[in-house]
Chains A and B, each alone.
Chain A
Protein backbone atom coordinates (compact mmCIF):
# COMPACT_ATOMS: atom_id res chain seq x y z
CA UNK A 1 0.00 0.00 0.00
CA UNK A 2 1.65 3.21 -1.15
CA UNK A 3 1.56 6.52 0.65
CA UNK A 4 -1.06 7.90 -1.72
CA UNK A 5 -3.43 5.00 -1.13
CA UNK A 6 -6.39 5.88 1.05
CA UNK A 7 -8.50 2.73 0.65
CA UNK A 8 -7.29 -0.71 -0.43
CA UNK A 9 -10.36 -1.30 -2.63
CA UNK A 10 -9.57 1.71 -4.84
CA UNK A 11 -6.90 1.46 -7.57
CA UNK A 12 -3.56 2.75 -6.33
CA UNK A 13 -2.53 5.59 -8.66
CA UNK A 14 1.14 5.34 -7.59
CA UNK A 15 1.27 1.67 -8.53
CA UNK A 16 -0.61 2.30 -11.78
CA UNK A 17 1.80 5.07 -12.79
CA UNK A 18 4.78 2.98 -11.74
CA UNK A 19 3.71 0.17 -14.11
CA UNK A 20 3.05 2.72 -16.87
CA UNK A 21 6.47 4.37 -16.52
CA UNK A 22 8.30 1.04 -16.30
CA UNK A 23 7.29 0.23 -19.89
CA UNK A 24 8.13 -3.40 -19.29
CA UNK A 25 5.66 -4.88 -21.71
CA UNK A 26 5.03 -5.08 -25.44
CA UNK A 27 1.75 -3.17 -24.95
CA UNK A 28 3.67 -0.14 -23.60
CA UNK A 29 5.13 0.31 -27.09
CA UNK A 30 1.69 0.24 -28.75
CA UNK A 31 0.52 3.73 -29.69
CA UNK A 32 -1.68 5.35 -26.98
CA UNK A 33 -4.08 6.34 -29.77
CA UNK A 34 -4.52 2.65 -30.69
CA UNK A 35 -5.30 1.78 -27.06
CA UNK A 36 -7.64 4.77 -26.81
CA UNK A 37 -9.50 3.59 -29.93
CA UNK A 38 -9.61 0.15 -28.33
CA UNK A 39 -11.26 1.65 -25.24
CA UNK A 40 -13.85 3.40 -27.40
CA UNK A 41 -14.62 0.17 -29.28
CA UNK A 42 -14.83 -1.91 -26.11
CA UNK A 43 -17.30 0.58 -24.59
CA UNK A 44 -19.25 0.61 -27.88
CA UNK A 45 -19.48 -3.19 -27.99
CA UNK A 46 -20.67 -3.58 -24.39
CA UNK A 47 -23.19 -0.81 -24.97
CA UNK A 48 -24.59 -2.50 -28.07
CA UNK A 49 -24.73 -6.10 -26.91
CA UNK A 50 -26.87 -7.72 -24.23
CA UNK A 51 -25.54 -11.19 -24.93
CA UNK A 52 -24.01 -12.83 -21.87
CA UNK A 53 -21.79 -15.16 -23.93
CA UNK A 54 -20.28 -12.28 -25.96
CA UNK A 55 -19.65 -10.34 -22.75
CA UNK A 56 -18.05 -13.41 -21.14
CA UNK A 57 -15.72 -14.05 -24.10
CA UNK A 58 -14.75 -10.37 -24.33
CA UNK A 59 -13.99 -10.28 -20.59
CA UNK A 60 -11.76 -13.35 -20.81
CA UNK A 61 -9.88 -11.88 -23.81
CA UNK A 62 -9.27 -8.55 -22.01
CA UNK A 63 -8.29 -10.32 -18.77
CA UNK A 64 -5.86 -12.45 -20.81
CA UNK A 65 -4.33 -9.36 -22.43
CA UNK A 66 -4.07 -7.69 -18.98
CA UNK A 67 -2.34 -10.75 -17.47
CA UNK A 68 -0.03 -11.25 -20.46
CA UNK A 69 1.14 -7.65 -20.04
CA UNK A 70 2.50 -8.68 -16.63
CA UNK A 71 0.06 -6.47 -14.74
CA UNK A 72 -1.01 -7.47 -11.19
CA UNK A 73 -4.06 -9.77 -11.46
CA UNK A 74 -4.57 -10.20 -7.69
CA UNK A 75 -4.68 -6.42 -7.24
CA UNK A 76 -7.14 -6.19 -10.14
CA UNK A 77 -9.55 -8.55 -8.39
CA UNK A 78 -9.29 -6.43 -5.23
CA UNK A 79 -10.02 -3.32 -7.30
CA UNK A 80 -13.17 -4.98 -8.67
CA UNK A 81 -14.84 -4.41 -5.26
CA UNK A 82 -16.00 -0.90 -6.12
CA UNK A 83 -17.64 -1.56 -9.53
CA UNK A 84 -19.20 -4.82 -8.30
CA UNK A 85 -20.70 -3.05 -5.28
CA UNK A 86 -22.02 -0.27 -7.48
CA UNK A 87 -23.74 -2.63 -9.90
CA UNK A 88 -25.25 -4.69 -7.08
CA UNK A 89 -26.40 -1.61 -5.12
CA UNK A 90 -28.50 -0.27 -8.01
CA UNK A 91 -29.34 -3.28 -10.17
CA UNK A 92 -29.75 -5.44 -7.06
CA UNK A 93 -32.91 -3.48 -6.33
CA UNK A 94 -34.25 -3.69 -9.89
CA UNK A 95 -33.78 -7.46 -10.44
CA UNK A 96 -36.41 -8.55 -7.93
CA UNK A 97 -39.49 -7.77 -9.99
CA UNK A 98 -38.00 -8.62 -13.38
CA UNK A 99 -40.43 -10.68 -15.53
CA UNK A 100 -39.34 -14.29 -16.19
CA UNK A 101 -39.38 -17.78 -14.69
CA UNK A 102 -39.43 -17.43 -10.88
CA UNK A 103 -36.45 -18.97 -9.07
CA UNK A 104 -37.52 -18.08 -5.54
CA UNK A 105 -39.83 -15.65 -3.76
CA UNK A 106 -39.46 -13.69 -0.56
CA UNK A 107 -42.66 -12.72 1.24
CA UNK A 108 -42.21 -9.46 3.15
CA UNK A 109 -45.85 -9.15 4.26
CA UNK A 110 -46.88 -6.10 2.24
CA UNK A 111 -44.96 -7.12 -0.87
CA UNK A 112 -43.54 -10.32 -2.30
CA UNK A 113 -40.15 -10.11 -3.98
CA UNK A 114 -39.54 -12.64 -6.74
CA UNK A 115 -36.19 -13.40 -8.32
CA UNK A 116 -36.48 -14.69 -11.87
CA UNK A 117 -34.03 -16.23 -14.34
CA UNK A 118 -34.04 -12.96 -16.33
CA UNK A 119 -33.16 -11.05 -13.15
CA UNK A 120 -30.13 -13.27 -12.55
CA UNK A 121 -29.02 -12.98 -16.23
CA UNK A 122 -29.42 -9.19 -16.01
CA UNK A 123 -27.19 -8.84 -12.97
CA UNK A 124 -24.51 -11.15 -14.44
CA UNK A 125 -24.58 -9.29 -17.79
CA UNK A 126 -24.19 -5.88 -16.16
CA UNK A 127 -21.48 -7.20 -13.83
CA UNK A 128 -19.51 -8.59 -16.77
CA UNK A 129 -19.91 -5.31 -18.66
CA UNK A 130 -18.59 -3.44 -15.61
CA UNK A 131 -15.58 -5.76 -15.27
CA UNK A 132 -14.77 -5.52 -19.00
CA UNK A 133 -14.75 -1.72 -18.84
CA UNK A 134 -12.69 -1.54 -15.63
CA UNK A 135 -10.15 -4.14 -16.75
CA UNK A 136 -9.54 -2.44 -20.09
CA UNK A 137 -9.37 1.04 -18.47
CA UNK A 138 -6.75 -0.14 -16.00
CA UNK A 139 -4.82 -1.95 -18.74
CA UNK A 140 -4.82 1.34 -20.71
CA UNK A 141 -3.67 3.36 -17.67
CA UNK A 142 -0.96 0.86 -16.70
CA UNK A 143 0.60 0.57 -20.16
CA UNK A 144 0.58 4.26 -21.17
CA UNK A 145 3.19 6.72 -19.98
CA UNK A 146 2.22 9.78 -17.93
CA UNK A 147 3.71 12.11 -20.59
CA UNK A 148 1.59 10.50 -23.30
CA UNK A 149 -1.58 10.87 -21.24
CA UNK A 150 -0.75 14.54 -20.63
CA UNK A 151 -0.16 15.11 -24.35
CA UNK A 152 -3.47 13.40 -25.18
CA UNK A 153 -5.35 15.59 -22.68
CA UNK A 154 -3.68 18.67 -24.22
CA UNK A 155 -4.76 17.65 -27.72
CA UNK A 156 -8.31 16.47 -26.93
CA UNK A 157 -9.69 19.15 -24.59
CA UNK A 158 -10.15 22.88 -25.26
CA UNK A 159 -8.56 25.56 -23.06
CA UNK A 160 -9.04 26.21 -20.14
CA UNK A 161 -10.40 22.68 -19.56
CA UNK A 162 -7.10 21.13 -20.72
CA UNK A 163 -5.15 23.44 -18.38
CA UNK A 164 -7.24 22.50 -15.32
CA UNK A 165 -7.04 18.82 -16.28
CA UNK A 166 -3.26 18.86 -16.82
CA UNK A 167 -2.55 20.73 -13.59
CA UNK A 168 -5.02 18.54 -11.65
CA UNK A 169 -3.40 15.39 -13.04
CA UNK A 170 -0.02 16.68 -11.90
CA UNK A 171 -1.29 17.76 -8.45
CA UNK A 172 -3.29 14.57 -7.91
CA UNK A 173 -0.36 12.57 -6.58
CA UNK A 174 0.62 15.34 -4.13
CA UNK A 175 -2.94 15.76 -2.89
CA UNK A 176 -3.57 12.03 -2.48
CA UNK A 177 -0.33 11.72 -0.56
CA UNK A 178 -1.24 14.70 1.63
CA UNK A 179 -4.75 13.31 2.32
CA UNK A 180 -3.30 9.90 3.16
CA UNK A 181 -0.80 11.52 5.54
CA UNK A 182 -3.51 13.55 7.31
CA UNK A 183 -5.65 10.43 7.78
CA UNK A 184 -2.66 8.50 9.09
CA UNK A 185 -2.05 11.28 11.61
CA UNK A 186 -5.73 11.30 12.65
CA UNK A 187 -5.81 7.50 13.03
CA UNK A 188 -2.58 7.40 15.02
CA UNK A 189 -4.18 9.82 17.51
CA UNK A 190 -7.30 7.68 17.92
CA UNK A 191 -9.37 9.45 15.28
CA UNK A 192 -10.46 6.21 13.64
CA UNK A 193 -12.41 5.11 16.70
CA UNK A 194 -16.12 5.59 16.06
CA UNK A 195 -17.77 7.86 18.59
CA UNK A 196 -20.96 9.80 17.86
CA UNK A 197 -21.93 10.86 14.34
CA UNK A 198 -21.40 14.47 15.42
CA UNK A 199 -17.84 13.90 16.68
CA UNK A 200 -16.98 11.67 13.75
CA UNK A 201 -18.50 14.18 11.32
CA UNK A 202 -16.50 17.01 12.85
CA UNK A 203 -13.23 15.07 12.60
CA UNK A 204 -13.83 14.23 8.94
CA UNK A 205 -15.03 17.76 8.18
CA UNK A 206 -11.83 19.21 9.66
CA UNK A 207 -9.71 16.77 7.67
CA UNK A 208 -11.56 17.64 4.46
CA UNK A 209 -11.34 21.36 5.19
CA UNK A 210 -7.63 20.94 5.83
CA UNK A 211 -7.21 19.11 2.52
CA UNK A 212 -8.93 21.97 0.70
CA UNK A 213 -7.07 24.73 2.56
CA UNK A 214 -3.67 23.06 2.15
CA UNK A 215 -4.49 22.42 -1.50
CA UNK A 216 -5.32 26.08 -2.05
CA UNK A 217 -2.19 27.18 -0.18
CA UNK A 218 -0.14 24.83 -2.31
CA UNK A 219 -1.95 26.01 -5.47
CA UNK A 220 -0.98 29.59 -4.71
CA UNK A 221 2.65 28.66 -4.02
CA UNK A 222 2.84 26.53 -7.18
CA UNK A 223 1.19 29.33 -9.18
CA UNK A 224 3.76 31.87 -7.96
CA UNK A 225 6.60 29.44 -8.70
CA UNK A 226 5.22 28.81 -12.19
CA UNK A 227 4.97 32.54 -12.90
CA UNK A 228 8.58 32.96 -11.72
CA UNK A 229 9.57 30.30 -14.28
CA UNK A 230 7.77 32.04 -17.14
CA UNK A 231 4.25 30.55 -16.93
CA UNK A 232 1.99 32.68 -19.13
CA UNK A 233 -1.29 30.90 -18.47
CA UNK A 234 -0.63 28.08 -20.90
CA UNK A 235 0.68 24.75 -19.70
CA UNK A 236 1.86 22.94 -22.80
CA UNK A 237 2.30 19.19 -22.99
CA UNK A 238 4.43 18.89 -26.08
CA UNK A 239 5.47 15.23 -25.86
CA UNK A 240 5.13 13.54 -29.23
CA UNK A 241 2.60 10.73 -29.01
CA UNK A 242 3.62 7.71 -31.11
CA UNK A 243 1.30 7.36 -34.10
CA UNK A 244 -0.58 4.09 -34.58
CA UNK A 245 1.42 1.60 -36.62
CA UNK A 246 0.06 -0.50 -39.49
CA UNK A 247 -0.59 -3.44 -37.16
CA UNK A 248 -2.45 -1.18 -34.70
CA UNK A 249 -4.67 0.26 -37.44
CA UNK A 250 -5.30 -3.24 -38.80
CA UNK A 251 -6.16 -4.61 -35.34
CA UNK A 252 -8.59 -1.80 -34.54
CA UNK A 253 -10.22 -2.01 -37.98
CA UNK A 254 -10.66 -5.75 -37.49
CA UNK A 255 -12.17 -5.12 -34.04
CA UNK A 256 -14.59 -2.53 -35.49
CA UNK A 257 -15.61 -4.99 -38.23
CA UNK A 258 -16.10 -7.73 -35.62
CA UNK A 259 -18.39 -5.42 -33.62
CA UNK A 260 -20.41 -4.64 -36.76
CA UNK A 261 -20.74 -8.34 -37.62
CA UNK A 262 -21.68 -9.30 -34.04
CA UNK A 263 -24.23 -6.52 -33.61
CA UNK A 264 -25.82 -6.65 -37.06
CA UNK A 265 -25.70 -10.45 -37.23
CA UNK A 266 -27.70 -10.94 -34.04
CA UNK A 267 -31.48 -11.46 -34.43
CA UNK A 268 -32.42 -8.93 -31.74
CA UNK A 269 -29.28 -6.93 -30.93
CA UNK A 270 -30.88 -4.01 -29.06
CA UNK A 271 -28.55 -1.48 -27.49
CA UNK A 272 -29.19 1.31 -29.98
CA UNK A 273 -32.28 2.86 -28.35
Chain B
Protein backbone atom coordinates (compact mmCIF):
# COMPACT_ATOMS: atom_id res chain seq x y z
CA UNK B 1 0.00 0.00 0.00
CA UNK B 2 1.09 3.55 -0.52
CA UNK B 3 2.14 5.01 2.78
CA UNK B 4 3.98 8.24 3.52
CA UNK B 5 7.07 6.91 5.22
CA UNK B 6 7.74 10.12 7.07
CA UNK B 7 7.71 10.76 10.77
CA UNK B 8 6.31 13.56 12.92
CA UNK B 9 7.55 17.02 12.10
CA UNK B 10 7.81 16.37 8.37
CA UNK B 11 4.59 18.26 7.61
CA UNK B 12 3.86 21.71 9.01
CA UNK B 13 1.19 22.00 11.71
CA UNK B 14 -1.29 23.48 9.22
CA UNK B 15 -1.01 20.59 6.76
CA UNK B 16 -0.93 17.93 9.50
CA UNK B 17 -4.26 19.39 10.68
CA UNK B 18 -5.65 19.66 7.13
CA UNK B 19 -5.08 15.95 6.43
CA UNK B 20 -6.27 14.93 9.89
CA UNK B 21 -9.48 16.90 9.26
CA UNK B 22 -9.93 15.25 5.84
CA UNK B 23 -9.44 11.81 7.42
CA UNK B 24 -11.88 12.59 10.25
CA UNK B 25 -14.51 13.67 7.69
CA UNK B 26 -14.05 10.48 5.63
CA UNK B 27 -14.04 8.24 8.71
CA UNK B 28 -17.05 10.19 10.04
CA UNK B 29 -18.97 9.37 6.86
CA UNK B 30 -18.02 5.69 7.23
CA UNK B 31 -19.15 5.69 10.89
CA UNK B 32 -22.41 7.39 9.92
CA UNK B 33 -23.01 4.84 7.11
CA UNK B 34 -22.44 1.95 9.50
CA UNK B 35 -24.62 3.49 12.22
CA UNK B 36 -27.46 4.28 9.84
CA UNK B 37 -27.92 0.64 8.82
CA UNK B 38 -31.46 -0.39 9.70
CA UNK B 39 -30.30 -3.73 11.07
CA UNK B 40 -26.77 -3.37 12.48
CA UNK B 41 -24.63 -6.36 11.56
CA UNK B 42 -22.81 -7.25 14.79
CA UNK B 43 -20.92 -10.07 13.05
CA UNK B 44 -19.40 -7.54 10.64
CA UNK B 45 -17.84 -5.65 13.57
CA UNK B 46 -16.13 -8.81 14.81
CA UNK B 47 -14.99 -9.67 11.27
CA UNK B 48 -13.65 -6.13 10.74
CA UNK B 49 -11.74 -6.41 14.02
CA UNK B 50 -10.11 -9.66 12.94
CA UNK B 51 -9.45 -8.15 9.51
CA UNK B 52 -7.60 -5.30 11.29
CA UNK B 53 -5.55 -7.72 13.38
CA UNK B 54 -4.75 -9.93 10.34
CA UNK B 55 -3.80 -6.96 8.14
CA UNK B 56 -1.60 -5.49 10.90
CA UNK B 57 0.13 -8.87 11.39
CA UNK B 58 0.76 -9.25 7.64
CA UNK B 59 2.01 -5.68 7.49
CA UNK B 60 4.86 -6.75 9.81
CA UNK B 61 6.06 -9.47 7.45
CA UNK B 62 9.01 -8.51 5.29
CA UNK B 63 8.84 -10.24 1.90
CA UNK B 64 12.14 -11.41 0.37
CA UNK B 65 11.77 -9.42 -2.87
CA UNK B 66 14.06 -6.50 -3.89
CA UNK B 67 15.88 -6.76 -0.56
CA UNK B 68 12.67 -6.84 1.51
CA UNK B 69 9.35 -5.10 1.00
CA UNK B 70 6.16 -5.08 3.04
CA UNK B 71 2.57 -5.01 1.92
CA UNK B 72 -0.61 -3.95 3.70
CA UNK B 73 -3.30 -5.42 1.49
CA UNK B 74 -5.50 -2.31 1.71
CA UNK B 75 -7.45 -3.17 -1.49
CA UNK B 76 -7.99 -6.66 -0.02
CA UNK B 77 -9.39 -5.03 3.13
CA UNK B 78 -11.80 -3.12 0.86
CA UNK B 79 -12.80 -6.31 -0.98
CA UNK B 80 -13.38 -8.28 2.24
CA UNK B 81 -14.72 -5.65 4.66
CA UNK B 82 -16.30 -3.16 2.26
CA UNK B 83 -15.49 0.56 1.97
CA UNK B 84 -17.20 1.72 5.20
CA UNK B 85 -15.72 -0.85 7.60
CA UNK B 86 -12.51 -0.84 5.53
CA UNK B 87 -12.08 2.91 6.18
CA UNK B 88 -12.26 2.29 9.93
CA UNK B 89 -9.87 -0.65 9.64
CA UNK B 90 -7.17 1.42 7.87
CA UNK B 91 -7.46 4.22 10.45
CA UNK B 92 -6.88 1.73 13.27
CA UNK B 93 -3.95 0.13 11.42
CA UNK B 94 -2.38 3.57 10.95
CA UNK B 95 -2.80 4.38 14.66
CA UNK B 96 -1.25 1.04 15.68
CA UNK B 97 1.55 1.58 13.15
CA UNK B 98 2.30 5.09 14.45
CA UNK B 99 2.52 3.62 17.96
CA UNK B 100 5.44 1.41 16.86
CA UNK B 101 7.17 4.00 14.69
CA UNK B 102 5.80 3.14 11.25
CA UNK B 103 4.74 6.64 10.20
CA UNK B 104 4.23 9.56 12.57
CA UNK B 105 1.19 10.51 14.65
CA UNK B 106 0.86 13.75 12.71
CA UNK B 107 0.80 11.83 9.44
CA UNK B 108 -2.00 9.43 10.41
CA UNK B 109 -4.50 11.77 8.73
CA UNK B 110 -2.62 11.88 5.41
CA UNK B 111 -1.94 8.14 5.44
CA UNK B 112 -5.59 7.36 6.26
CA UNK B 113 -6.79 9.49 3.33
CA UNK B 114 -4.42 7.59 0.99
CA UNK B 115 -5.50 4.20 2.34
CA UNK B 116 -9.22 5.03 2.18
CA UNK B 117 -8.74 5.84 -1.53
CA UNK B 118 -7.07 2.43 -1.98
CA UNK B 119 -9.84 0.65 -0.07
CA UNK B 120 -12.58 2.44 -2.01
CA UNK B 121 -11.00 2.00 -5.48
CA UNK B 122 -10.12 -1.65 -4.74
CA UNK B 123 -13.65 -2.44 -3.59
CA UNK B 124 -15.32 -0.53 -6.47
CA UNK B 125 -13.16 -2.08 -9.21
CA UNK B 126 -13.60 -5.58 -7.79
CA UNK B 127 -17.39 -5.27 -7.85
CA UNK B 128 -17.69 -3.30 -11.12
CA UNK B 129 -15.61 -5.88 -13.01
CA UNK B 130 -17.70 -8.80 -11.70
CA UNK B 131 -19.49 -9.48 -14.99
CA UNK B 132 -16.57 -8.51 -17.26
CA UNK B 133 -13.88 -10.55 -15.47
CA UNK B 134 -15.40 -13.50 -13.57
CA UNK B 135 -11.95 -14.95 -12.71
CA UNK B 136 -11.24 -14.00 -9.09
CA UNK B 137 -7.43 -13.92 -9.42
CA UNK B 138 -7.42 -11.48 -12.36
CA UNK B 139 -10.24 -9.33 -10.98
CA UNK B 140 -8.64 -8.95 -7.54
CA UNK B 141 -5.24 -8.29 -9.14
CA UNK B 142 -6.61 -5.55 -11.39
CA UNK B 143 -8.61 -4.01 -8.54
CA UNK B 144 -5.48 -3.99 -6.36
CA UNK B 145 -3.32 -2.40 -9.06
CA UNK B 146 -5.98 0.26 -9.68
CA UNK B 147 -6.35 0.95 -5.95
CA UNK B 148 -2.61 1.20 -5.34
CA UNK B 149 -2.09 3.35 -8.45
CA UNK B 150 -4.70 5.84 -7.20
CA UNK B 151 -3.20 5.67 -3.69
CA UNK B 152 0.22 6.53 -5.14
CA UNK B 153 -1.16 9.52 -7.02
CA UNK B 154 -2.90 10.79 -3.87
CA UNK B 155 0.34 10.27 -1.90
CA UNK B 156 2.35 12.34 -4.40
CA UNK B 157 -0.32 15.07 -4.42
CA UNK B 158 -0.40 15.23 -0.62
CA UNK B 159 3.41 15.57 -0.38
CA UNK B 160 3.54 18.19 -3.17
CA UNK B 161 0.70 20.21 -1.62
CA UNK B 162 2.06 19.97 1.93
CA UNK B 163 5.81 20.06 1.23
CA UNK B 164 8.32 18.59 3.66
CA UNK B 165 9.54 20.95 6.39
CA UNK B 166 13.10 22.05 5.74
CA UNK B 167 13.09 20.95 2.08
CA UNK B 168 13.71 24.03 -0.11
CA UNK B 169 13.50 22.37 -3.51
CA UNK B 170 11.27 23.44 -6.38
CA UNK B 171 8.04 21.51 -7.10
CA UNK B 172 9.73 20.00 -10.17
CA UNK B 173 12.67 18.71 -8.13
CA UNK B 174 10.36 17.25 -5.46
CA UNK B 175 8.24 15.66 -8.19
CA UNK B 176 11.33 14.04 -9.72
CA UNK B 177 12.27 12.50 -6.37
CA UNK B 178 8.72 11.39 -5.68
CA UNK B 179 8.43 9.84 -9.16
CA UNK B 180 11.28 7.53 -8.24
CA UNK B 181 9.47 6.52 -5.04
CA UNK B 182 6.21 6.10 -6.97
CA UNK B 183 7.99 3.85 -9.49
CA UNK B 184 9.32 1.64 -6.66
CA UNK B 185 5.85 1.65 -5.06
CA UNK B 186 4.26 0.51 -8.32
CA UNK B 187 6.83 -2.30 -8.57
CA UNK B 188 5.73 -3.40 -5.10
CA UNK B 189 2.10 -2.87 -6.18
CA UNK B 190 2.57 -5.51 -8.91
CA UNK B 191 3.75 -7.97 -6.22
CA UNK B 192 0.85 -6.96 -3.97
CA UNK B 193 -1.62 -7.37 -6.87
CA UNK B 194 -0.25 -10.86 -7.56
CA UNK B 195 -0.46 -11.82 -3.89
CA UNK B 196 -3.94 -10.30 -3.46
CA UNK B 197 -5.10 -12.17 -6.59
CA UNK B 198 -3.83 -15.44 -5.12
CA UNK B 199 -5.30 -14.67 -1.67
CA UNK B 200 -8.73 -13.86 -3.13
CA UNK B 201 -8.64 -16.93 -5.42
CA UNK B 202 -7.70 -19.08 -2.40
CA UNK B 203 -10.45 -17.54 -0.24
CA UNK B 204 -12.86 -18.04 -3.17
CA UNK B 205 -12.05 -21.76 -3.12
CA UNK B 206 -12.02 -22.32 0.65
CA UNK B 207 -14.48 -19.74 2.03
CA UNK B 208 -16.44 -18.23 -0.93
CA UNK B 209 -19.04 -16.86 1.50
CA UNK B 210 -16.45 -14.29 2.66
CA UNK B 211 -16.55 -12.82 -0.85
CA UNK B 212 -20.33 -12.94 -1.02
CA UNK B 213 -20.24 -15.96 -3.39
CA UNK B 214 -22.70 -18.79 -2.90
CA UNK B 215 -21.10 -22.22 -2.42
CA UNK B 216 -21.74 -24.39 -5.52
* Interface contact A98-B169, CB-CB below 8 Å: yes
**A86 with B7: CB separation less than 8 A:** yes
Within 8 Å CB of A254, what residues of B? none
- Quick check: which of B51-59, B114-122, B124-132 contacts chain A, the rest being far away? B51-59
**The one of A125, A164, A213 that contacts B52, using a Cβ cutoff of 8 Å:** A164
Residues of A within 8 Å of B, CB-based: how many? 90
- Chain B's closest residue to A97 (CB) is B173
From known contacts A46-B8, A200-B65, A209-B202, infer whether A133 and B85 are also in contact, taking CB-CB under 8 Å. Answer: no
The total number of A-B Cβ pairs within 8 Å is 267
**Interchain CB contact under 8 A, A98 and B88:** no
Q: Does A117 belong to the interface (CB within 8 Å)? A: no
Q: Is the CB of B51 within 8 A of A91?
A: no
Q: With the chains together, A219 CA to B48 CA distance in Å?
A: 9
* Residue A267 interfacial (CB < 8 Å): no
How near does chain A come to B42, taking the closest CB pair, in angstroms? Answer: 4
User: B49, A137: Cβ atoms under 8 Å?
Assistant: no
Question: Does chain B have a CB within 8 A of A110?
Answer: no
Chain A neighbourhood of B153, CB < 8 A: none
Q: Is A90 an interface residue (CB 8 A)?
A: yes
B101 x A270 contact (CB < 8 A): no
Q: Is B134 an interface residue (CB 8 A)?
A: no
Chain A residues numbered 194-220 whose CB sits less than 8 Å from any CB in chain B: 194, 197, 200-202, 204-206, 208-209, 211-213, 215-220
Within the complex, the shortest CB–CB distance from B53 to chain A, in Å, comes to 4
B212 within 8 A of A: no
A215 to B198: give the CA distance in the assembly, Å: 17
Q: Is the CB of B61 within 8 A of A90?
A: no
CB-CB under 8 A for A126 and B166, given A94-B177, A160-B45, A208-B195: yes
Interface-side segment among A25-33, A62-70, A168-176, A241-249? A168-176
Contact B53 A172 (CB under 8 A): yes
When the two chains form their complex, are residues A183 and B105 in contact, meaning their CB atoms are under 8 A apart? Answer: no
Q: B181 contacts A90, CB within 8 Å?
A: yes
Partner of A7, one of B7, B61, B167: B61
Task: Give the interface size class of chain B.
Answer: 35 or more
A residues 160-184 touching B (CB-CB < 8 Å): 160-161, 163-168, 170-172, 174-176, 178-179, 183
| B101/A215 in contact, CB under 8 A | no
- Asked whether B216 is an interface residue with its Cβ less than 8 Å from the other chain, the reply is no
Chain B residues with CB under 8 A of A49: 9
How many angstroms from the CA of A235 to the CA of B106 in the assembled complex? 28
Bound complex: CA of A225 vs CA of B11, how far in Å? 45
B49 CB contacts on chain A under 8 angstroms = 163-168, 170-171, 219
B10 touches A205 (CB 8 A): no
For the complex of A and B, list the 9 residue pairs with the smallest distance between their C-beta atoms, beginning with the closest.
Answer: A167-B49, A205-B198, A130-B7, A129-B9, A86-B5, A219-B50, A134-B101, A168-B52, A175-B53
Not counting A50-B165, A164-B85, A200-B65, a sample of 7 additional A-B residue pairs whose C-beta atoms are within 8 angstroms of each other reads: A10-B100, A137-B105, A158-B31, A161-B27, A161-B31, A167-B50, A168-B92
6 contacts between A and B (CB under 8 A): A79-B100, A87-B5, A168-B48, A179-B54, A200-B64, A204-B63
